[in-house]
Structure 1
C-alpha cells in the first residue's frame, strides 16, 4: 500500500502542475485531472482510504511548492484544512452512493449508474467541504465579494468534474478489469457506428459554428443532444471516447496563452472561459449519464434473459422429474422381484463354491440398485411433507448415493469420514438431501484434485457437514447455471441453518450448518 500511495503522490503532483494552464488569478483550475486520479483510487480502494490520500496530497503540495511553507506557518489550520478536505469529501460521496445503492434494487442504482452518479456527486462534495473556509477566510483564495466567491467555488466544481469524468473511467478499467460492468467495458465499434457518430458530431459542431459566426458564442445544446444520442445508442466505452474528443477540441481554446499567444485572437476572458466550461461540463454529464443508463439497461436485460433461461431450465427439470418418477416406478417392480429371486437363489446355493459367490454378488448389486431406486423415487417426490427428525448420517449416505455416479464418471473419489449415529436435525429430508447433493456437485465441478472430502462434526448445538475440495481460481470442471448453491442456501436457511464458504489450508470448504433437534446430542 505504501508503494501505491507514493505513486499516487507523484502522479497527483504531475497532474496538479498540468492543471495550472486552466487556472485563473481568483479561481481554481477549470480542468483538474488530478481529481480524476483521486476519485479512481478511492473508488478502487474504498472510501476508508480518503484520509491517507488527503495526507499524501498535503505532502505533495508542500514538496512541489503548491503550498508555501511560509503560508503554512502563518495559517496552519486553514491551509491544512484546504488541502485535505476535498479528498475527504470524495470519500464521503463514494461511501454515500454505495450505501444508497446497496439498499436499492432499481436500474437507476445498478453498477453502471453507481459510478456515473459518484463521478458527478464527488466533485460537488469536495467543493462543499471548502465552503466553510471560503466563507470564514475568503482572503485565502483572494476573493473580495459574494460574486467572486461563487465564481471560485463554481470553477472548482467544474474543474474537478471534468477531471473525474475524463481521467477516472479508464484508470478504473485498467486497474480492475473485473469491474468492466461498472467502468464501461472494452471499446468495440464498427464502421457503421463510426459513420453514425461522425455524422452526429459533425452536425452538432457545424451548428455551433453557425452560432459562433452570428455572434451567439459557444452553445452547449447541440453537442449535448449529440452525446445524449450517442450515449443511449453506444454505451459508455464509445461515449467516453467521444467526450474525450470533444474535450480535447475545446481545452486549447480555454488554456492560458502559450508563448504569448492564444488560439483565439486576443485570448479569452475569464468569464468566457467559465461559460465554455459550464457548457462542456453539461455536455460531459449528460453524455456519460446517458451512456451509464444505456449500460445499466443492457445489464438488466441480460439479467432478465438469464432469469428466463433459469425458468426454462426449471420447467425442463420439472418435466424430467415427472419422467424419471415414471421410469423409476416402472423398473421398481421387476427390480424388487430380481432382488427377491437373487436372495432366494443365494439361500438355495448355501455354499462357498463359485456359483454361491456369483449369486452373492448379484444379490449385493440388486440390493444396492433397489436402495438407489427407492432414494431416487423419494428424491423425485414433491416434498410437500411436514418437517421431521432426520439422522445426519442418512442425509450424507443418501446424497453420496445420488451423486456417486457423477463422481465416478469424472474419476474423483468421494471420501466420507465416519458419521456419528446420534446427530439428528429437523427438516424435510428430500430438500436437505437436495441441498447436500448441490454442494457435492459444486465441489466436483471446481475440484482440481482427485478427492472430495466429506466430514460431519458437532459444533455446539449445530451439526456441521463440511465438503472440502482442492481448488484453483477460475477452474471449473463443468459449466452450470449457478442455481445449485442458491437453492441449497435457500433450503438450509429455511431450516434455521446456513452455508459457509472459506479457504482452509489450500482447500475450499463449503459447510452446511444445521441446528440439532432439541433434546438430542449436546455433549
Structure 2
C-alpha cells in the first residue's frame, strides 16, 4: 500500500504518464497501440524504484489521468471496458515486478545479481501485458479497431514493441537519476586518455554502422537493422550498459523521427524492431 511519502512520486507520475502517453500518439500503430510507448518506461521505473506495493496506486493514477483526458467517460457505453484496458497493463507490470523480485531474492544464480532482475522485468512486463490483452483483441476486435489474423498480429506486435522501446529508452535514465539522488555525490574527474580512446572507438563503430545502413537505403536496398544492431551490441559488450544505452538513444534519435510518418506498418515495425 502507498505511504504518505509516496504521494509526491504519484503526483509526479501522473504528470509524466500524461505527457508520455501524449507523446506516443506520433507513433500510433495498427489499431489501438503505439509503436513507441514511453509511458511504459515511466511506469516500470516507478514500480521498480518504489516497489510493486504501489501497483494499485499506479493503476488508479492512470485511470484518473485517462479519465481527465477523455479516454474513459464514466456512464458512456463501453466505459468499463475502456477502464479495464487502461488498468490492465499497470496491474500486469506490478505483478511482473513482484514476481521478478521474489524470484531474484531467492535465486542463487546470476539471476539474482543486478542488473539481471531489472533486465528480466524490462522484457517480461511488456510481453506479459501484451499476452493479457490477447483475449480482448481476439474476442472483441472492435475495441482495437482490427480484424483478421494479419491485423491482429500486427496490433499485438505493435503493443509489445512499443512498450519494449518505451521501457528501454525511458526506464534506465529515470532509475539512474533516482539512484544518483540516493547515493553520495561523486567528484567529477577529467576523462583519461583511455576513456577518450574508448569514446572514439565507440563513435567510429556506431558511425560506420549508421553510414552502412544509410548507403544501403540510398541505393534502394531498404534500411537494414543488422549494422546498427551489431554496433550497439558491440558497444554494450565492450564498454558496459551505460554506453550501450547511449548508443541505442543515438540510433533511436535517427530512426524515430522517420517512423513518425505514414510509413507502411510492416516497414515501421521492421525499423522499430
Asked if these proteins are the same fold (TM beyond 0.5), I'd say yes
User: By how many angstroms is 1:24 displaced?
Assistant: 3.6
Answer yes or no: is the 8 Å Cα contact 1:36–1:165 preserved in 2: yes
The aligned counterpart of 1:464 is none
2:120 to 117, 122, 128: 117
Residue 50 (structure 1) aligns with: 55
Q: Is the 8 A contact 1:127 1:153 kept in 2?
A: yes
Is the CA contact (8 Å cut-off) linking 1:173 and 1:179 kept in structure 2?
no
Structure 1 equivalent of residue 188 of structure 2: none
Give 1:136 shift.
2.1
Pair 1:80–1:208, CA change in 2 (3 A): same
Runs (4+) off by over 6 Å: none
CA-CA distance at 1:245 after TM superposition? 0.9
| Pick aligned residue for 1:41 from 46, 65, 75 | 46
1:29 maps to 2:24: no
CA shift for structure 1 position 44: 0.9
Quickly say closer, same or farther: Cα 1:124–1:177, change in 2 above 3 A: same
Q: How many positions carry a matched residue from both structures?
A: 260
Quote the offset at 1:201 in angstroms.
0.7
Match for residue 230 of structure 1?
Answer: 235
1:79 aligns with 2:106: no
Per-residue CA deviation, residues 347-378 of structure 1 (Å, 9 max, x unaligned), is: xxxxxxxxxxxxxxxxxxxxxxxxxxxxxxxx
Tell me the distance in 2 between the aligned counterparts of 1:22 and 1:107: 36
Residue 69 (structure 2) pairs with residue 64 (structure 1)? yes
Matches of 2:173 and 2:138, distance apart in 1: 36
Deviation of 1:120 after TM superposition, in Å, equals 1.3
What per-residue deviation string (whole Å, max 9, x for no partner) do you get for residues 466-502 of structure 1?
A: xxxxxxxxxxxxxxxxxxxxxxxxxxxxxxxxxxxxx
User: Normalized against structure 1, the TM-score is what?
Assistant: 0.47
Secondary structure of 1:73 counterpart: coil
Q: CA deviation at 1:6?
A: 2.0
Specify whether residues 251 and 168 from structure 1 end up closer, same or farther in structure 2 by C-alpha distance, changes over 3 A only: same
2:247 aligned partner: 242
**Alignment root-mean-square deviation, CA:** 2.1
Query: What secondary structure does 2:76 align onto?
Result: helix
- 1:27·1:151 contact (CA, 8 Å) conserved in 2? no
Equivalent position of 2:186 in the other structure: none
Give runs of aligned pairs for residues 96-111 of structure 1, distance below 5 A. 96-111=99-114
Look up the SS of the partner of 1:6 in the other structure.
helix
Structure having the higher strand fraction is 1
d(CA) in 2 for partners of 1:244 and 1:20? Answer: 19
Partner residue, 1:271: 266
2:156 match: 153
**1:74 Cα deviation from its structure 2 partner:** 0.8
Residues 182-331 of structure 1: pairs in structure 2 closer than 5 A: 190-256=195-261, 267-278=262-273
Distance 1:214 1:156 in 2: 32
Out of 144, 148, 154, the position equivalent to 1:141 is 144
CA positional deviation for 1:2: 2.4
Structure 1 equivalent of residue 3 of structure 2: none
2:30–2:158 contact (8 Å) kept in structure 1: no
For residue 75 of structure 1, report the CA deviation from its aligned partner: 1.4
Give the Cα separation in 1 of the matches to 2:114 and 2:181.
12
5+ residue gaps, structure 1, are 181-187, 257-266, 279-523
CA contact (8 A) 1:37 1:164 kept: yes
Report the alpha carbon displacement of residue 60 of structure 1 after superposing the two structures with TM.
0.4
Greater relative contact order, per chain length (Cα 8 Å cut-off, separation 6+): 2
How far residue 68 of structure 1 moved from its aligned partner, in angstroms, is 4.5
Q: Which runs of 5+ in 2 are unaligned?
A: 1-5, 184-190
Decide which structure has greater helix share: 2
> Is the Cα contact below 8 Å between 1:27 and 1:155 reproduced in 2?
no
